[in-house]
Amino acid sequence: MKHPHPTKKLHTKETLDEALFGWHRDAKKIVFTNGCFDILHRGHVEYLHKASQLGDVLVVGLNSDESVRRLGKGPERPIQDEMTRATILTALGFVDAVIIFGEDTPYELIRFVSPHVLVKGADWRGKGVVGEDIVASKGGETILIDVVEGFSTTNIVKKIRQ
């Protein structure tokens, strides 16, 4: 069976709205997560795969280049531009949709997606996950997934520089 080009999973708000309508209509359990995913590594892949197993559809909110810069990750970040990062994410079979967002947080995007499950890394424990109030108000849940130790974009960049 031939699969559609992975970038067909890359959505605008309008195309995602159409997809969400169908998924909600079909009673699909929607999972949402977000991040920069600058240099995709094993930790990212395992995290996203685990997130995908928590429902029927995995929607990934991807920080735009500008929002990554505002996060204070350093002047050279992101290393890869948003379209490159989005294309790589859409190539993962267990990712169903990717949408780039430019705000400082994905709060309004989470409200828009209205997921049943909100996922973040366990490193967010005790910090308050953005949007968990929205998900809880609709009877959904926030799940923290353990991160794979030793894998981070920051560590990869440091290793390359050495």
Q: How far apart are CA 100 and CA 132, in angstroms?
A: 20
Asked if the structure places residue 42 within a domain, the reply is: yes
How many domains does one find in the chain? 1
User: The domain spanning residue 71 has which CATH number?
Assistant: 3.40.50.620
The predicted structure's pLDDT at residue 104: 92
How much is the pLDDT for 161? Answer: 73
- pLDDT at position 88 over 50: yes
**125 part of a folded domain:** yes
Residue 5 pLDDT exceeds 60: no
Residue 1 scores a pLDDT above 60: no
The reply to whether 127 falls in a domain is: yes
CA distances from 100 to 8, 39, 67, 86, 130 (A): 14, 16, 10, 8, 17
* % of the chain residues with pLDDT over 90: 70
Residue 118 has phi, psi (to 5 degrees) of -110, 130
| Boundaries of domain holding 39 | 7-161
Q: Are 49 and 14 in contact (CB under 8 A)?
A: no
In a domain, 97, yes or no: yes
Read off the DSSP letter of residue 109. Answer: H
pTM over 0.85: yes
Q: Residue 78 falls within a domain, yes or no?
A: yes
Beta-carbon contacts of residue 93 (< 8 Å; ≥ 6 apart): none
For residue 141, being part of any structural domain is answered with yes
Amino acid 128: pLDDT = 86
In a domain, 1, yes or no: no
pLDDT per position as a tens digit, 30-57: 999 999 999 888 999 999 999 999 999 9
Q: Check pLDDT > 50 for residue 139.
A: yes
Helices (H), the chain: 13-25, 42-52, 65-70, 82-90, 107-113, 132-137, 153-161
Residue 64 lies in a domain: yes
